[in-house]
Amino acid sequence: MSVKKLSKESLLNWVDEIISTKKKVYGVQKHKDKTDRFEFAPLDSTADLRLDYDVTVLPPKKYFQPPTETLVAFDLKGGYKAACDTEKFIVIGIHPYDMIAINQMDELFQKDNYDSHYMTRRNNATIIACDVATASKDIFASSMKTATVKKGYDILLTDIGNGYVAEAATKKGQLLLDKAKTEKASDADIKARQAVWENNEKNLNKHPLNCQPSEVSELLEKAYNHPVWEEKAKTCFSCGSCNQVCPTCYCFNVHDDMNWDLKSGDRKRTWDGCLLDGFTKVAPDHEFRAKKSDRFRHRLYRKGKYVPSKIGGQIACVGCGRCIGACLPDIANPVKVYNRLLEDTSAVKK
């Protein structure tokens, strides 16, 4: 599919049109309470859209796996009925690292058993991704090889200064892009986009990882009993903040809610976190991962080893840096942990 160019103005007009014709459009904008931060939220006006944002407080996973969703409706008499979100929607402004996280989730939610709740929403979404224009304070996407993205989106926008290069990757995307006033991207435009990519692949790197992301899994094989887990977890609140803000965390809890008739109700799933006390607790009162340090280690193994083994070796940390900001005692930074292990194991080698 061809590569187009949009002037800044025609981009705005295009978004205007999208907002006026589609029911559900979400886009990156200033956080409603804290105006120095950004969030994905329903986009009412094109003027609110901020494609120059650094990072959003929550990743866009909330549109694919909402914090709370109904899985089935039940009725004491009539049994169970599947509940499904079937509305079509558009998300504007997903950064490459978040896109890659969604690509990973797609694989995980289809693997073993096809999760129709996640996948229905995923299939109903049109994603307009955009390349990073402003580096956030903790981003390390370059280290994780997630600074640019090649698939998953329907349209990718790249700000090249005098306009946007837009490339549709799907038919859905092409149809949508056709509505914009575009011109064919010139060689210079394509080169400018390449330059943005090259720059991002190098410079979105506030916390450089001292090895290839694909090597982390092997690194962890030797680190299971390393003292770093105990040391760091000493100040862990077990608050699950790192889980909640992470674009690649998808563990959930399930609970039933009754209606007032006490005969019908909903079975819901809500975000959960493997760092939380009680995550592995079973009746009567046995907890399998009771130690904070074990839970702390579990998360970093999940990102670096367990999930990668399910998705062809890709590391399940996309370097968005959200957990770094979310963690009060400042222990969540995956790079710091992996680098520390690297140092120690290479020290052992020497």
Partner 1 sequence: MSKKIDINVKHLTRVEGHGNIIVNATDGKVEKVEWQVPEAPRFFEAMIRGRSYEDIQLIVSRICGICSISHSLVAIKSVENAIGINISEQTDKIRRLLHYSEQLQSHVLHVGYLVAPDLFGVKSVVPLVSAAKDAVLTIVKAHRVANEWSELLGGRVTHPVTIRPGGFTMLPSEKQLKELKETLTNLVPDLMAIVDVVLSVANQLPAFTRETEYVSLREKDFYAFYDGKIVSTDGHTEEVCNWESVANEYVSDQSTAKWAKWHRSSYAVGALARFNNNYEQLADVAKDIAKKFGLKKGCCNPYMNSIAQLAECGDVVVNAIKLIDELLTAGIKQEKIDGKPKKAGRGNAAIEAPRGILFHSYTFDEKGICLGGNLCIPTNQNHGNIQKDFEKIVPEIIDQGQDAVRQKLEMLVRSYDPCISCSTHMLDVQFVK
Partner 2 sequence: MCECCGQDKDIYLPQLATVNKARMMNGTELYLNLSMDAEPLDYKPGQFVEVSIPGFGEAPISISSSPTQKGYFELVVRKIGNVTSMIHKLKIGDKIGIRGPFGNGCYPIEEAKGKNLVFICGGIGLVPQRSFINYVLDNRSDYGNITVLLGTKCHTQRFFHSELRQWSQRSDIRLLETVDEKDDCWQGNVGVVTTLIPKIESELGSAFTFICGPPVMYKFVIMALAEENVSRDRIFVNLERKMKCGVGKCGHCQINNFYVCVDGPVFRCSELAVAPEAI
Partner 3 sequence: MNKPRVAVFDFACCEGCQLQIVNLEEQILDLIGAVNVVEWREAMSEQSHEYDIAIIEGSITRPEDEEKLWLIRSRAKILIALGACATLGGINKLKNNFDLNDVKKCVYGKDASKPHLYTELTKAVDEVVEVDYKIHGCPIEAKEFISIIRSLLIGKKPEIPEYPVCVECKAKGNPCLWEYGQLCLGPIIRAGCNARCPSAGHRCYGCRGYINKPNVEAAKDVIEKYGLSVEDLKSKMVLFGSRQDNTL
Q: Which is nearer to partner 1, 33 or 187 (CB)?
A: 33
Contact pattern for partner 3 over residues 18 through 47, marking x by CB under 8 A: -------------x-xx--x-x--------
- Residue from the set 283, 312, 349, 350 that interacts with ligand FAD by CB under 6 A: 283
Contact pattern for ligand SF4 over residues 213 through 252, marking x by CB under 6 A: ----------------------------x---xxxx----
DSSP sequence for 46-112: GGG--TT---BSS-GGGGTS-SEEEEEEEETTTEEEE------EEEEEE-HHHHHHHHHHHHHHHSS
DSSP conformation class of 303: I
Q: Which residues pair with 78 in a beta bridge?
A: none
> Considering the rule CB under 6 A, would residue 282 count as an interface residue with ligand FAD?
yes
Sheet holding 89-94, edge to edge: 38-42, 25-30, 89-94, 125-130, 155-159, 164-168, 3-6, 183-184
Give the three-class secondary structure for 229.
helix
50 binds, options partner 3, ligand SF4, partner 2, none, Cβ within 5 to 8 A by partner type:
none
> Considering the rule CB under 8 A, would residue 261 count as an interface residue with partner 2?
no
Q: Which is nearer to partner 2, 283 or 348 (CB)?
A: 283
Applying CB under 6 A, the site for ligand SF4 has a residue count of 14
Contact pattern for partner 1 over residues 32 through 71, marking x by CB under 8 A: xx-x------------------------------------
> Considering the rule CB under 8 A, would residue 95 count as an interface residue with partner 3?
no
> Considering the rule CB under 8 A, would residue 82 count as an interface residue with partner 2?
yes
Residue 255, exposed/middle/buried by CB under 10 A (0-12, 13-18, 19+)? exposed
Q: What are phi and psi of 67, to 5 degrees?
A: -55, -35
Q: What angle do CA 101, 103, 109 make, to 5 degrees?
A: 100
Contact 317, 245 (CB under 8 A): no
Contact pattern for partner 2 over residues 115 through 154, marking x by CB under 8 A: xxx-xx--x-------------------------------
* Chain residues 282-321 in contact with partner 1, contact rule CB under 8 A: none
Residue 216 to residue 23: CA distance in whole angstroms = 43
Residues that bind ligand FAD (CB under 6 A): 282-283
